[in-house]
């Protein structure tokens, strides 16, 4: 059994009926060959935005199995939900080591798109299936999403996909706010200013909550944030920790500002060490939930309408 270069950051919050999930993975897979077939003639397609417990769910079919993929900008590629054998490879997790595997699927279908012969990561997401009460096929990450122009519209509960990926959505409908990002491997990284402190955040549509490193929180004036509650979080390794959830004033992301923003405070050291970066937090569902936005990988820009 070997230790491999995969980082899994999957946790959920145990707080009565509320559970916020966060997924962060890292793995460089071999490049795959794919055959794309547009099953409709138009270059655009709109599909319903199915949202549950902070996750964006997309109907899909993998080989012969139908279910849902979680749209997750924090995942590097396609992640398949599958129980892992005891002698599988190990990877770093939030509170300990995880079991992961690798495989190839014959076919993926989603939103009128077909892809064949895809390399994928195998990860046990059975806890998500149990919580959501749905068939979760896995996570749809960077390698697939970056091929298209995808607009997520939470208020209208719609996802618009431009199959050509030629930026025509943003050209025809200029966004109100533009926040540039850099890619650290597959992960979009933006600069921000929180309480006049320069900060750096990763964007993760698969994160059920925002995260903030405690060292960053300690830089803020104690009058600038409020402790909302304490919550138990549990990663895939099954270990449980008690963490603070705070509400922070004055959150500035380029020209886009949020007066108050909740964050779950937890250490992100292992993410920074593995990616050789220094992020202060992760922006998830609590950031995106009221927005119409596009994470545009070709422009390296977060557009907000």
pLDDT score, position 88: 62
Contact 153, 49 (CB under 8 A): yes
Q: Is residue 74 located within the same domain as residue 114? A: yes
pLDDT, tens only, 7-58: 444 444 555 444 454 444 554 444 433 333 333 345 788 999 999 988 999 9
Spatial neighbors of 31 by CB under 8 A, at least 6 apart, are none
Which of 3-12, 270-279, 288-297 has the least mean pLDDT?
A: 3-12
DSSP 200: E
Minimum mean pLDDT among 40-49, 168-177, 250-259, 295-304: which range? 40-49
- Give the separation between CA 184 and CA 188, rounded to whole angstroms: 6
Nearest-angstrom CA–CA distance, 169 and 163: 11
Q: Which of residues 169, 193, 220 is at a domain's end?
A: 169
- One domain for residues 138 and 178: no
Q: Which of 104, 137, 169 is the last residue of a domain?
A: 169
- The pLDDT of residue 84 is 79
3-state class (DSSP) for residue 107? strand
Question: What pLDDT is stored for residue 242 in this prediction?
Answer: 84
Between CA 283 and CA 204 the distance in angstroms is 6
Range(s) of the domain holding residue 91: 3-169
215 vs 208: CA distance, rounded Å = 22
What is the chain's mean pLDDT, rounded? 83
CA dihedral 163, 136, 243, 183 (to 10 degrees): -30
Within 56-203, residue ranges assigned H as helices are 126-132, 142-145, 168-172
Query: Cβ atoms within 10 A of the Cβ of 40, count?
Result: 11
Are residues 251 and 202 located together in one domain of the fold? yes
Domains in the chain, number:
2
State mean pLDDT over 278-287.
Answer: 94
Cβ atoms of 138 and 81 within 8 Å: the answer is yes
Could you tell me if 7 and 202 are in contact, meaning their C-beta atoms sit under 8 angstroms apart?
A: no
Which pLDDT value is given to residue 165? Answer: 75
292-296 and 301-304 beta bridge pairing:
antiparallel
Whether residue 177 sits in one domain with residue 121 = no
In this prediction, residue 138 carries a pLDDT of 95
Q: Do 240 and 289 fall into the same domain?
A: yes
């Amino acid at each position: 059994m070997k230790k491999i270069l995969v980082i899994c950051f999957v946790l959920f919050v145990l707080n009565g009926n509320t559970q916020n999930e966060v997924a962060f993975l890292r793995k460089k897979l071999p490049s795959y060959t794919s055959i794309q077939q547009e099953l409709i003639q138009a270059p655009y397609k709109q599909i319903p935005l199915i949202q549950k417990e902070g996750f964006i769910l997309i109907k899909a079919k993998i080989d012969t199995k139908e279910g849902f993929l979680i749209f997750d900008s924090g995942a590097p590629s396609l992640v398949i939900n599958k129980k892992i054998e005891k002698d599988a490879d190990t990877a770093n997790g939030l509170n300990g080591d995880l079991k992961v595997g690798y495989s190839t699927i014959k076919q993926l279908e989603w939103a009128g798109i077909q892809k064949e012969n895809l390399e994928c990561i195998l990860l046990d997401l059975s806890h998500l299936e149990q919580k959501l009460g749905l068939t979760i096929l896995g996570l749809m990450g960077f390698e697939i999403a970056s091929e298209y122009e995808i607009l997520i519209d939470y208020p209208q509960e719609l996802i618009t996909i431009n199959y050509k990926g030629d930026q025509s959505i943003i050209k025809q409908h200029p966004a109100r706010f533009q926040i540039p990002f850099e890619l650290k491997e597959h992960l979009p990284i933006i600069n921000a200013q929180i309480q006049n402190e320069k900060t750096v955040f990763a964007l993760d549509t698969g994160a059920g909550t925002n995260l903030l490193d405690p060292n960053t929180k300690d830089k803020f004036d104690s009058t600038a944030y409020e402790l909302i509650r304490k919550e138990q979080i549990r990663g895939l390794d099954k270990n449980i920790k008690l963490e603070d959830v705070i509400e922070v004033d004055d959150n500035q992301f380029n020209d886009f500002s949020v007066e108050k923003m909740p964050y779950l405070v937890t250490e992100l050291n292992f993410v920074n060490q593995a990616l050789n970066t220094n992020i202060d937090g992760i922006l998830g569902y609590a950031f995106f939930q009221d927005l119409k936005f596009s994470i545009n990988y070709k422009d390296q820009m977060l557009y907000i309408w």
